[in-house]
Structure 1
Amino acid sequence: MADLTITRVFDAPRELVFELWTRPEHMAGWYGPIGLTTPLSSISMDVRPGGTWRATMVNDADGTEYPQGGTYQEVVAPERLVFTWGEPDDPARQALVTVMLAEAGGKTTMTFLITNLPDDLRESVNEGWTSAFESLANYLETK
């Protein structure tokens, strides 16, 4: 099993960045690597410890669907979110995600940590989330 950490600074207050992670209408605007779309109709979120979430990314080119989901472990608005992430019907292939948000000078530093990631997924997951955070930054420019 592998760990992965990605740190990004966004030009937005952390309350807004937290909402992008916890409100379906925002998540639909950025969730997924560039070239994939996550329809609002595919997103369900019960943002509380023990609550579940699901979303389905769709490849814009060929329509291939990639369901994702998990369970919220910890929710501390607007600074920390911990949830399982991966294939919704295969708990053995789910990793643990921790999103930490720190604000300074109107900008938010996001530290994104995945633990318990299957080794064979590390490279593709790193590329996917890095691309998704580009989408998140682009989406923030519209807010």
Structure 2
Amino acid sequence: MTESATTPGATTEFTIVRLLDAPRDLVFRAWTEPGHLTHWFGPRALTTPLSMISTDVRPGGAWGLSVVDGEGNAYPLSGSYREIVPPERLVFTTGDPANGEGALASVVTLTLADLDGKTEMRFHQAGVNTDEAHAEASKAGWVEFFDRLAEHLAAHADSRGVARRLGDSPM
């Protein structure tokens, strides 16, 4: 796993690069299909119920989900898709859950490169807030999400890296 941060400027930004042992079409689907998102999106201590996920995967389409704690409190996240190039690029906005006005907090650019059946995932988030501490907390959260993503992908690719359909049993 490689992680790097850019120097904060007028807007805070960072990049996380991960090598995932899964084909990039599966990684792309894990980012855009509720049946995959429910298994990995969010911190380990919370759940992301399938019934609380919506994706309209097209430029201008909205996405939204809620992560839920053990007491049933839901924490919504949402944004819109700006660019979609399956299975290699996804650009979307994400709002700051602490911002009651719904103002744009950041833009995420996800690029997926095929490396002989594995996928290099480059995640870049810009405009997180101008507060560096908030950006560092956001980055740490994404690192945990990506650990969960890697585990989820491992459960859905056979030993040759061939993607299985969601719901197929592991080999």
TM-score with structure 1 length normalisation? 0.93
Structure 2 residue identity aligned to 1:38: T
Query: How far apart are the structure 2 equivalents of 1:65 and 1:117?
Result: 21
Higher helix share: 1
Q: Is this contact kept in 1: 2:93–2:104, CA < 8 A? A: no
RMSD in angstroms over aligned alpha carbons?
Answer: 1.4
1:23 to 15, 33, 49: 33
Higher strand share: 1
Query: How far apart are the structure 2 equivalents of 1:90 and 1:99?
Result: 26
Residue deviations 1:36-69, cap 9 Å, x none? Answer: 2110000000000000000001124x43322100
Q: Which has the higher contact order (CA 8 A, sep 6+)?
A: 1
Other structure's SS at 1:141 match: helix
Could you list the runs of 5+ residues in structure 1 that have no partner in the other structure? none
Q: How does 1:31-110 map to 2 (within 5 A)?
A: 31-60=41-70, 62-87=71-96, 90-110=101-121
Structure 2 residue identity aligned to 1:128: G
1:116 to 118, 121, 127: 127
Query: How far apart are the structure 2 equivalents of 1:105 and 1:59?
Result: 38
- For the pair shown, the structure with the greater C-alpha radius of gyration is 2
The CA deviation at 1:87 is: 3.8
Q: Point out 4+ residue stretches in structure 1 off by more than 4 angstroms.
A: none
The CA deviation at 1:142 is: 1.1
Other structure's SS at 1:108 match: strand
Matched length: 142
